[in-house]
Amino acid sequence: MSDQPTNSSRGQWGSRAGFILAAAGSAVGLGNIWKFPYITGENGGGLFVLVYLVAILLVGLPIMMAEIFVGRTTQKSPVGAIRDLSKRGSPWIMTGWLGVLAAFVILSYYSVVAGWAMHYTWITMTEPFTGQSADEISSVFGAVFGNTTINTGWHVAFMVITIGIVSMGIHRGIELCAKILMPTLFLILIALLIYAMTTDGFGRAAEFLFAPNTENFSGKSVLEALGHAFFTLSLGMGAMITYGSYLSKKESIVSTSIIVSILDTAVALMACLILFPIIFSANLEPGAGPGLVFVSIPIAFSQMSGGAILAPLFFLLLTFAALTSAISLLEVAASYFIDELKWPRLVAVLVTGFAITLIGIPSALSGGTAMFGSGFQELNAPLLAYLGHENGLNWFDLFDYIASNWLLPLGGLAIALFASWRVGGAARQAAFCGEGKGMTIYFVWLILLRFLVPIAVILVFLNAVGFLDWFFALFATAVEGG
């Protein structure tokens, strides 16, 4: 413990690289490899990618700096950190609570998707899809989602691994895991990328991604890109506050945030450069939606030589990426009980992990009818209408919907406003520019956070509750009428 100068009872990153890898591990996840490619496909490629990159730069990066700043300054997890920077009983503390709640909600269903990645790693290894027809392979996903035993089993297995790693603590658990998994993940990505470059779909994929394609791009695409910038960088619920709280005050907020954002973006783009050549080579549909990874990839790999090796490798990669993200979600929940209620780490991790495993079970059962009739399949309509969503959501979809469209934008907005308006200016400026250096960056950051970020986030939020649709419809009728 002698290399831990301060706060050794709480834990601290062993090195700057350890922090960067852990934070990148949190950011890089299912959002990059599963979600980003399919929403890029749906929104027509090129222009969407460009807007996403701008959103990362102008909205995501400033909020990440704000979160790391709040955490690093206070060396506390979200609730305590915000209390320290405002005052006891301040309404801003609700932001911290919201984050803890979001951790429970997100991890409960995230773990189910991670379970699919584990299941696919297993089945592509033990019974390769080679030679099966596309229909046979796509029916596998439906069967998996409908199978309560498979879903619950892998969900619990994934949670047990996550709990095991987080209980080992910051330095020996989370950091060590990230130091092993992140480089492995990059190696697998590079191997798959080299393979994708040899397929004849590569040129078409590159053009799809980087030429300014406007087809399928709409006003809503801008907002979707912005919303995804949040999810992919793990912002809006205090994950980066928590990780920042284990960071030594010697380390720069600006450079670490930039590196983490670049790594996250690189993985998202690499995932696209791997998936789309395969999709184009196999003549599959890029706009196929959420099933893109779990349906199209096994289909594509089944038609290729080497697919029997590449397919399990791909799903192993997805599992690793999900694991280092899940760790950060559990750490947010556990650190609240460790810091605020003074629970020992092991107890806090076991209790929160167990609770999240239980909360995730309805999500794991969402595709099946075997055990509880259709109880978890279709939630009741008035409740959904009240939440601003039409009918037809199951429990799993509902949790995803609440988290990405309500909790994260709200949390991100609150953190942006808190860090830029509420926190004392002198302390903030000192944290950013130690010896008077970096003043320009500091002021650009402050202006973005005070004005541009709130406006952008409010737009995402209004879009999520359907207000913009309503507004545009009203506008259209007004124009027609006038």
Q: Using CB under 6 A, list all residues that contact ligand TRP.
A: 26-27, 29-32, 106, 231-232, 234, 236-237, 239, 325, 328-329, 408
Task: Between 31 and 62, name the residue whose CB sits nearer to ligand TRP.
Answer: 31
**Cβ nearer to ligand TRP, comparing 234 with 335:** 234
How far is CA 109 from its chain centroid? 12
Q: How far is 79 from 342, CA to CA, in rounded Å?
A: 13
Q: How far is the CB of 331 from ligand TRP (least distance, A)?
A: 9
Is 242 or 377 the residue whose CB approaches ligand TRP more closely?
Answer: 242
Q: Is 387 exposed, middle or buried (0-12, 13-18, 19+ CB in 10 A)?
A: middle
DSSP bridge pairs for 374: 372
Among candidate residues 414, 407, 416, 405, the one with its CA nearest the CA of residue 451: 416
Q: How far is the CB of 28 from ligand TRP (least distance, A)?
A: 6
Whole-angstrom Cα distance, residue 286 to residue 39? 9
The distance of closest approach from Cβ of residue 402 to ligand TRP in the complex, given in angstroms and rounded to an integer, is 13
DSSP state of 291: G
Report residue 6: phi and psi, to 5°: -120, 155
**C-alpha span between 107 and 326 (Å, rounded):** 6
Question: 219-232 and 453-464 helices cross at what angle (nearest 10)?
Answer: 110
Closer residue to ligand TRP (CB): 235 or 273: 235
Residue with tokens 């040899």: 198
Could you tell me the two tokens for 236?
């809006």
Q: Which is nearer to ligand TRP, 165 or 446 (CB)?
A: 165
Shortest distance, position 170 Cβ to ligand TRP, whole Å: 16
User: Count of CB atoms within 10 A of residue 1's CB?
Assistant: 9
CB of 316 to ligand TRP, least distance (A): 16
Determine contact, residues 166/325, Cβ cutoff 8 Å. Answer: no
CB of 192 to ligand TRP, least distance (A): 18
Nearer to ligand TRP, 282 or 402 (CB): 402
**Nearest approach, Cβ of residue 265 and ligand TRP (Å):** 11
Shortest Å, Cβ 228 to ligand TRP:
9
- Measured from the CB atom, the residue of 154 and 432 that comes closer to ligand TRP is 154
Residue 441: other Cβ atoms inside 10 A: 15
**DSSP for residue 450:** I
The number of beta carbons lying within 10 Å of the beta carbon of residue 388 is 13
Quick check: helix, strand or coil at residue 372? strand
Residue 365 φ/ψ, nearest 5 degrees: -95, 0
CA diameter of the chain:
75
Give whichever of 75 and 232 is closer to ligand TRP, judged by the CB atom.
Answer: 232
Minimum CB separation of residue 178 from ligand TRP in Å reads 13
> Which C-beta is closer to ligand TRP: that of 32 or that of 221?
32
CB of 77 to ligand TRP, least distance (A): 14
DSSP 374: B
Q: Specify whether the CB–CB gap between 154 and 316 falls below 8 A.
A: no
Closest to ligand TRP by CB, 30 vs 70, is: 30
Tell me the C-alpha distance between 366 and 372, whole Å.
Answer: 10
Angle at 65 between CA 325 and CA 168, to 5 degrees: 35
* Nearer to ligand TRP among residue 243 and residue 432 (C-beta): 243
Cβ at position 324, least distance to ligand TRP in Å = 9
